[in-house]
Structure 1
Amino acid sequence: MRALRVYTSLWAMQPHDQTGVKLPYEQVVEMVAGAGFAGMALDSGAAPMADLKRIQPMMARAGLRPFLVSFPQTIAALRDDLRLAKDWGAPFVVVIGQVMPLTVAGMIPVIRAWIEMSEQEGMPILFETHRNCITNDLFTTLVLLDAIPEMRICADLSHYMVDREFWYPLSARDMGLMSRVLARSDSFQGRVASRQQIQLQLDFPQNRKWVDLFRGWWREGFAGWRARNATGECVFLCELGPPEYAMTGPDGREMSNRWQESLTIKSWVEQIWQEMDRQEDR
């Protein structure tokens, strides 16, 4: 049996609204569990490891599952995060690799070393499509995917939207490039970007075309995942980051409520998944 599991991110919960106030971890866990999320992504690049180790037992008591987002600065540095994630019962580790050779030829042995380490530790890894890391550029990542068939992706296409500054509407060629990434993706992240801005407000009328574009990509990603997997859990992460990801007005406050927006994205993707279930049942 297949199931969709929607997560949010601890990083996205701090702060959680326009006030800029950081919520206590106990309240964060209560909000996330109460809203029906399956778990939270714990991001070692955004919070001290001591904090992640403190919140994880709170999550476990609330029935929330973690997955770890790792930013290894050396090849060897990933191993500790793999072992920690395994101890916590995480489904996988998302790698935003900070080892960044300048050439694809230099990148290939780094990716292969991390994949081998993942197999040794018995903890799956997914390489996130992310700026300022080894998968910084869409074109480079596509070459890596061709060179390394076992490389699997966590698709946050907002980064590549900004990376390539795609014109709207996207050409058939550019849509095809993004489809190649989605075809290798085993989890997905929820944020809407434009060609210049990494995170847009969902209900501003001028952003509607970008919202529709990303909802279409999430649907395509789910369809591909379901075609490859007769059973298992598909993980979708609502990851709406705080400032300076979130845009602010002249008073320094955010222009939208990211907590409410995360619930909106959660409802969208759950609806997409349910529609696919109904279509298969016909």
Structure 2
Amino acid sequence: MTIKFYAPLWGNTLPFENFCANVSEAGYNGVEMDLPLEYKQRDDLLAILKDHGLELIGQYFQSFETNPKANLDSYERYLNHLIAAAPVLINCQTGKDYFDFEENLPLFQLADRLSKESGIPITHETHRGKCLYSAPVAKKYFENLPELRICLDISHWCNVHESLLKDQEEVVDLAISRTDHIHSRVGHAEGPQVNDPRAPEWEEALSAHLKWWDKVVQLHKANNRDLTINTEFGPFPYMPTLPFSEMPIANQWDINVYMMNLLKDRYNK
């Protein structure tokens, strides 16, 4: 069982070549990112990743269409585009929180079919605004879709449920049992991202997330399944800024590298 770490492209302001050099030097295995639909741009980015020995996790977040059929058509287009790049995994912010179960279901069915046809795993993220936005809603999908695998970004659920989920342990354990990919951002009761996980005032929130991730790692070790982790602390507006100046109160890159090293030290023993 191996654990690989991926840097988020989200928030990067450097030229992609420079970003990838930093990612490789920091000790990441790859990058999680979306790909432009223009083929030349896509191929240029893939070539830079390859030059730096970095793997790709494809990212889908473009669930903008409010009509379920249009959303499904766009989903298929983006998934096929990502599959053509041969990523190690595709992570999706699937569906809408205001679509009902029957309207979101075709998205999961499509992803399952494309995953089996391509051999590329596809995970569905526990993200606000998407179909798995809350613990009790996700439970219905887990119960009806036994092959559903997820990206556990449990920081969103902390925010949605305004708690560290001590009253929803059963559903959290069910989600953990379905996890193949982790976004290791630390959330809290009033937001999806603490300002700096190194600060002592966030010790309880960090500890709760570490215990959840520990359970995922233990399950993967027991089943000899590889695990991928994206250290997905984000920029503004996830990252708080000082008023008027818009100066971030912490460094996104430094926090993500800290989280990677913290988890490497914790699990790669």
TM range (shorter): 0.7 to 0.9
SS at match of 1:199: coil
Rate the CA distance shift 1:105–1:87 in 2: closer, same or farther, 3 A: closer
State the TM-score, normalized to the length of structure 1.
0.84
Task: Give the counterpart of 2:107 among 107, 110, 115.
Answer: 110
Letter of the 2:25 partner, please give it: G
Equivalent positions of 1:88-99 (< 5 A) are: 88-98=85-95
Corresponding residue pairs, total = 258
SS at match of 2:110: helix
Structure-2 residue corresponding to 1:38: 29
Structure-2 residue corresponding to 1:266: 260
Task: Give the counterpart of 2:241 among 248, 251, 257.
Answer: 248
Structure-1 residue corresponding to 2:124: 127
Letter of the 1:154 partner, please give it: C
Structure 2 residue runs of 5 or longer lacking an equivalent are 66-70
Structure-2 residue corresponding to 1:279: none
Q: Percent identity?
A: 20
Rate the CA distance shift 1:119–1:107 in 2: closer, same or farther, 3 A: same
SS at match of 1:236: strand
Letter of the 1:263 partner, please give it: V
SS at match of 1:66: strand
Structure-2 residue corresponding to 1:17: none
For 2:255 and 2:25, the matched residues in 1 are separated by: 16
For 1:257 and 1:100, the matched residues in 2 are separated by: 31
Equivalent positions of 1:147-226 (< 5 A) are: 147-166=144-163, 170-171=165-166, 173-200=167-194, 201-226=196-221
State the TM-score, normalized to the length of structure 2.
0.88
Letter of the 2:253 partner, please give it: W
Equivalent positions of 1:3-14 (< 5 A) are: 3-12=2-11, 14=12
Letter of the 1:195 partner, please give it: A
For 2:268 and 2:254, the matched residues in 1 are separated by: 21
Q: How far apart are residue 162 of structure 1 and its match?
A: 0.5
Structure-1 residue corresponding to 2:68: none
Q: How far apart are residue 104 of structure 1 and its match?
A: 2.3
Deviations 1:234-277 (A, max 9, x none): 100011111001111122111111111111111121122224xx
Deviations 1:59-96 (A, max 9, x none): 11100011111135522333444444344331121111
Higher relative contact order (CA 8 A, sep 6+): 1
Q: How far apart are residue 4 of structure 1 and its match?
A: 0.8
Structure-2 residue corresponding to 1:76: 73
RMSD: 2.0
Structure-2 residue corresponding to 1:280: none
For 1:99 and 1:257, the matched residues in 2 are separated by: 31
For 1:38 and 1:81, the matched residues in 2 are separated by: 24
Contact kept? 2:37, 2:81, Cα under 8 Å = no
Contact kept? 1:199, 1:247, Cα under 8 Å = no
Letter of the 1:39 partner, please give it: G
SS at match of 1:115: helix
For 1:162 and 1:99, the matched residues in 2 are separated by: 17
Q: How far apart are residue 100 of structure 1 and its match?
A: 5.5
Task: Give the counterpart of 2:54 among 40, 49, 64.
Answer: 64
For 1:104 and 1:141, the matched residues in 2 are separated by: 10
SS at match of 2:3: strand
